[in-house]
Structure 1
Amino acid sequence: MSSTGRVFTEAEKARMERNRIKALHLRQAKLVAHPYQKKNVNSADGEESVIKVQGTKYIDSGGGFLLEQPVISTNGQAITAGKEISDSNTEAAKVLNDALSIPVTFEECLDCGDAFVESYLFSNFGHAVCDKCRDQDGRHALITRTEAKAEYLLKDCDFDRREPPLRYISRKNPHNVRWGEMKLYLLLQVERRAMEVWGSEEELSRQHELLEEKREVTKVKKYNKQMKQLRMEMRSSLFTKETKSTHEHEFGADTYNEEDDNYTHTCLKCPYTETYEKM
């Protein structure tokens, strides 16, 4: 009977006893002494908590990791269980030595002349300028592909097929994230590519003027076409009104036909002729 006066059934008592025994075993399994003491003795049964994995014995530290069990050799020295140096450790040491022996390549900054290993412009665009000399609002500003094509009159082949292809970085479109990613190019490299295509700034300016003249001619042609279409629509509406207006015939003198014994008269405004009989 519980403190509240409830009477437990036999099944409930059996389940409570099983849970108590299970909790006691779990508690005894976790009571492991500190692994760095002289002896790793379990407070519950007085034995070391040792786990054997693939022939190697490990000590359960109780903190979520395992330690290799030290073994005392015949000469009194402690050695690691298993091989003194495993193959994996040897391979890791070789990789570390190879990594340390790789020579470091230094680049010389085009602006200040200092040596550097890595920078934003060199990593993304191959332009050898260190981070402290980067002018992100001036010479080293970024420009989109659309703006570069409009301002420097470049084509897609000038970006991708002309050697060497211009390097770029991709960024989300700030106007709408659902649109495609923007391609950002280094302004300095775009200007250099424009000079390769057009030869000089004067030629680029002349091409801009020619393009502006073509746009003006296109605007005039489009305007004239729209005006012509409007005039045709207006004339068509006037013609339709004129033809739909009511016409009253004005007949001239009657002419008598003796053979048919009828009369005929013709409209004075149109070629309409009417034949009739008089009663």
Structure 2
Amino acid sequence: MSKTSEDDHETKRIKLASSSKSEGVITEKISPSKANVIRIAGQNYIDTEGGFLIEEQTKPKEKEIIFENQSFTEEYKCLQCSREFLSSFLQKSFDYLVCDGCKDSNDKHSLITRTDAKAQYLLKDCDIDKREPPLKFILRKNPHNSNWGQMKLYLHLQVEERAIEVWGSLEKLEEAHEAREEKRIKAKTKRYNKNLKALRMEVRSSIFKKTSGPKHEHEFGPENYNEEEDIYYRTCLTCKFVENFEKM
């Protein structure tokens, strides 16, 4: 483009700017990289250099692409075979990371009722429900009577692990079992001896009533104590009747 043509274009811009100012419109010069673009009242116009302006077309805003957080399924590693798996019965029911392929329902991964768990491992309700983490369970209908309440079934090995936490070891648990059994036998023997003693006293009293005459009055000697049977007794000096009794 010749110098004369450039001067003409610059003259047109000056005239246009002057005309805009006279009409109260503010114009702005655009950076040199956009020499043919001018801004009037906040709007960009393209100078066609032919005596008129064309409104500049703004580029459409690019749509924001929002990526929603996608939930990814967590993978677990089997404690038995070390393979990864997405879900299994033991994982969902008891948080125990063993895949369905390694599940041994008859032995290692067998289930136990709450009643049997408490009796076999000497656990209290707080040991099962309150101690962290509480033992997980599944509900099943009672096989003996469907009208009864549902049974709580626990993973046997988790119950055993909890018993070790409570008692310290399986050996100490066995010692506790033996101590309780010994205490139970002693209490049972004591009740038996007490009942036997009462029966003997009742028999002896009935024999005396049948053999004694109506006019006979016993004249008992001094009291004696039978350590073996833990009873006191005294003997009639006349008929040799022995009366047994206990002292409170």
Question: Structure 2-normalised TM-score?
Answer: 0.56
Distance 2:130 2:189 in 1: 36
- Write the deviation string for residues 124-176 of structure 1: whole angstroms up to 9, x where unpaired: 11101110010111110001111111211111111111111101111111112
Alignment partner of 1:220 is 2:220: no
Q: What's the counterpart of residue 106 of structure 1? A: 75
2:161 equivalent among 184, 188, 192: 192
Distance 1:98 1:231 in 2: 88
Deviation at 1:204, TM superposition (A): 1.2
Deviation at 1:108, TM superposition (A): 1.0
After the TM superposition, which residues 6-85 of structure 1 pair with which residues of structure 2 at under 5 Å, given as runs? none
Alignment partner of 1:128 is 2:90: no
Distance 2:145 2:208 in 1: 52
- Write the deviation string for residues 54-79 of structure 1: whole angstroms up to 9, x where unpaired: xxxxxxxxxxxxxxxxxxxxxxxxxx
Change (3 A) 1:239 1:98: farther
Quick one: which amino acid aligns to residue 191 of structure 1? E
Deviation at 1:187, TM superposition (A): 0.6
1:206 equivalent among 166, 171, 175: 175
Distance 2:113 2:209 in 1: 55
Change (3 A) 1:116 1:220: same
Distance 2:187 2:116 in 1: 22
Identical amino acids, percent of aligned pairs: 54
After the TM superposition, which residues 135-150 of structure 1 pair with which residues of structure 2 at under 5 Å, given as runs? 135-150=104-119
Alignment partner of 1:157 is 2:126: yes
| Secondary structure, aligned partner of 1:169 | strand
Deviation at 1:241, TM superposition (A): 3.4
| Secondary structure, aligned partner of 1:188 | helix
- Write the deviation string for residues 76-111 of structure 1: whole angstroms up to 9, x where unpaired: xxxxxxxxxxxxxxxxxx9xx969x22111111111
Quick one: which amino acid aligns to residue 142 of structure 1? L
Distance 2:71 2:161 in 1: 35
Deviation at 1:216, TM superposition (A): 1.4
Deviation at 1:233, TM superposition (A): 2.2
Q: What's the counterpart of residue 17 of structure 1? A: none
Distance 1:126 1:218 in 2: 43
- Greater RCO, CA 8 A, separation 6+: 2
Distance 2:149 2:191 in 1: 32
- Write the deviation string for residues 219-275 of structure 1: whole angstroms up to 9, x where unpaired: 2112111102212322332344356x5559xxxxxxxxxxxxxxxxxxxx9xxxxxx
Distance 1:140 1:156 in 2: 22
Q: What's the counterpart of residue 229 of structure 1? A: 198
In structure 2, list runs of 5 or more residues that go unmatched.
Answer: 1-65, 217-237, 239-248
Distance 1:222 1:246 in 2: 36
| Secondary structure, aligned partner of 1:143 | strand
Question: Structure 1-normalised TM-score?
Answer: 0.50
| Secondary structure, aligned partner of 1:124 | helix
| Secondary structure, aligned partner of 1:190 | helix
Quick one: which amino acid aligns to residue 83 of structure 2? D
